[in-house]
A and B are shown apart, each in its own frame.
Chain A
Amino acid sequence: MSYYLKLNDFEGPLDLLLHLMQKDEAELDKISISKITDQYLEYIVGLPELDLDQASEFVLLAATLLELKARSVLPRPVSKDDPNAEPLEWQTEIAAEEDLADRLAVYRSFKELAENLREREETWSKVYTRSAMNEALAEGFSASIPVGSISLSTLCNALKKMLDNLETPEPFLELPRDQITVAEQMQYILERVAETEEQLSFIDLFSQLSTRAEIVVSFLALLELIRCQQVRVVQHQALGPILVESWLAEADIHNQ
């Protein structure tokens, strides 16, 4: 067989199955489990390298297919009471085949829908609005502020969440308020970072603050500290907590 594409070309095992069936011009409601399992396995085994990360889902489906195939070649017990009743094993096998057919049908629908969305995206990406201008401006800033492993938009989203979560509504009256300065908050952040033995999260740092002004000034203080290379912000996994640590932290680890 000369049609070995890399695993990367497929969006997962279901995608591969659809591809194999299309090549075969097989019909979804007449899946020959035996044949499709053979083809699938031949494909997987024939690949020169198998990256374990990518492979796990493919291997899982291979196991599922093998089980289906095994069931399909076993002699089917006939029910003793009613010769017309479907044996229980056979029923689950049919259910499993139908389940697979259903899954493939559903997956295929969404593949087509994704294509539809792609076309829309293509068209609408050529339409520029004032929103686009604001985003373009933000993109222009992100290159100059070294925030470590986080993108500027992640940081800004976190700030926005903090502001949204303020429980006390803004007072309508102008009360004399303490002037909070950026310098003071820079000091505050440095102290918090120093005294926290484990990692200080963005949320911890900001949850103590109660007014919009405090939050905004503190955020500016944080950015200033980053710019002066006194602290850094990191996010070790996608959607994980944003951590604030001393700039020297990594250097310390290397030295130990």
Chain B
Amino acid sequence: MVPTLFSDEGRAAIEALLFVASEPLSLEVLSKIIGLDPEQIQELIEELQEMYAGEKRGIQINKVAQGYQMGTLPAYHVYIERMLQPASSKLSRAALECLAIIAYRQPITRAEMEYIRGVKVDRVVATLLERQLIEEAGRKETIGRPILYATTSEFLRVFGLHSLSDLPPLADFTFPLSSL
């Protein structure tokens, strides 16, 4: 690849934008701001990623939620936690099961989730909504017009996914009936 004349400049501009942004930036957005093609932006980001990887850095650029976002390296989480003291709020097993069901079967109603899990999901759905990991996505056109739920871009961000297709295929987890 022949480096473009604006290579250094563009790359630095991208770095500055990613540093300041409070959510992942897509190639389109970066392209509009900087004035380069999305493909060029992507190449420059990859150059940045390579540069970071080659140096002993504390940050990296992650491809999440259909955009790019700077994040700290997991190896240094201890230091961040000393500074931020974030409320450790891991999701319960029930919440993760529900989230898995919604992620693969979206859009899906509460009743459909309850059938799969075998228990009520009200409390879990409330938690997931509050954390903005799921959202209401219209209503199903059946009796009662129940609400449909789907995952959000926050879900992608929290689980480090670029898009839903980054989830492992369901087939990998479907066991034939004869095995347990």
A27 touches B74 (CB 8 A): no
How does the 8 Å CB contact mask read for A97-111 relative to B, with 1 for contact and 0 for none? 000011101111111
How does the 8 Å CB contact mask read for A34-46 relative to B, with 1 for contact and 0 for none? 0000000000000
How does the 8 Å CB contact mask read for A113-136 relative to B, with 1 for contact and 0 for none? 111111011011111111111111
B residues in contact with A18, CB < 8 Å: 180
B93 touches A105 (CB 8 A): no
Instruction: Choose one: A123, A128, A134; the contact of B80 (CB below 8 Å).
Output: A128
The segment from B6-14, B49-57, B116-124 found at the interface with A is B116-124
Looking at the assembled complex, report how far the CB atom of A31 sits from the nearest CB atom of chain B, in whole angstroms.
9
Given contacts A22-B180, A124-B160, A134-B22, contact A107 B77 (CB under 8 A): no
A131 touches B99 (CB 8 A): no
B residues in contact with A107, CB < 8 Å: 116-118
Decide yes or no whether B137 CB sits under 8 A from chain A: no
Looking at the assembled complex, report how far the CB atom of B107 sits from the nearest CB atom of chain A, in whole angstroms.
16
Closest to A54 in B: B119
A residues in contact with B96, CB < 8 Å: 114-115, 117-118, 121
Looking at the assembled complex, report how far the CB atom of A192 sits from the nearest CB atom of chain B, in whole angstroms.
27
Closest to B122 in A: A238
A residues in contact with B69, CB < 8 Å: 129-131
A residues in contact with B160, CB < 8 Å: 120, 123-124, 127
A57 touches B118 (CB 8 A): yes
Decide yes or no whether B142 CB sits under 8 A from chain A: no
Size of the A side of the interface (Cβ < 8 Å), in residues, is 56
Instruction: Choose one: B23, B117, B125, B178; the contact of A29 (CB below 8 Å).
Output: B178
B70 touches A130 (CB 8 A): yes
B159 touches A128 (CB 8 A): no
Size of the B side of the interface (Cβ < 8 Å), in residues, is 56
Within B76-135, which residues are at the interface with A (CB < 8 Å)? 77, 80, 84-87, 90-91, 93-94, 96-97, 99-101, 103-104, 115-120, 122-123, 125-126, 129-130, 132
Decide yes or no whether A26 CB sits under 8 A from chain B: yes
Bound-state Cα–Cα, A101 to B115, Å: 14
How does the 8 Å CB contact mask read for A8-35 relative to B, with 1 for contact and 0 for none? 0001111100100110011111100000
A residues in contact with B87, CB < 8 Å: 139
Decide yes or no whether A229 CB sits under 8 A from chain B: no
Bound-state Cα–Cα, A135 to B89, Å: 12
Decide yes or no whether B170 CB sits under 8 A from chain A: yes
Within A129-159, which residues are at the interface with B (CB < 8 Å)? 129-136, 139, 151, 153-154, 157
B residues in contact with A105, CB < 8 Å: 174-175, 177
B84 touches A128 (CB 8 A): yes
B119 touches A110 (CB 8 A): no
Decide yes or no whether A61 CB sits under 8 A from chain B: yes
Instruction: Choose one: B104, B132, B170, B180; the contact of A26 (CB below 8 Å).
Output: B180
A132 touches B99 (CB 8 A): no
Closest to A26 in B: B180
A129 touches B168 (CB 8 A): no
Decide yes or no whether A112 CB sits under 8 A from chain B: yes
Looking at the assembled complex, report how far the CB atom of B149 sits from the nearest CB atom of chain A, in whole angstroms.
12
A12 touches B119 (CB 8 A): yes
A residues in contact with B72, CB < 8 Å: 126-129
Shortest Cβ-Cβ A-B pairs, 10 listed? A238-B126, A12-B119, A126-B77, A126-B74, A14-B118, A113-B100, A114-B96, A124-B160, A29-B177, A127-B71
Q: List 10 A-B contacts (CB under 8 A).
A: A22-B180, A103-B115, A105-B175, A109-B174, A110-B173, A113-B104, A113-B170, A123-B74, A130-B69, A136-B84
Measured CB to CB, the residues of B under 8 A from A are: 20-23, 62, 69-75, 77, 80, 84-87, 90-91, 93-94, 96-97, 99-101, 103-104, 115-120, 122-123, 125-126, 129-130, 132, 157-161, 168, 170, 173-175, 177-180
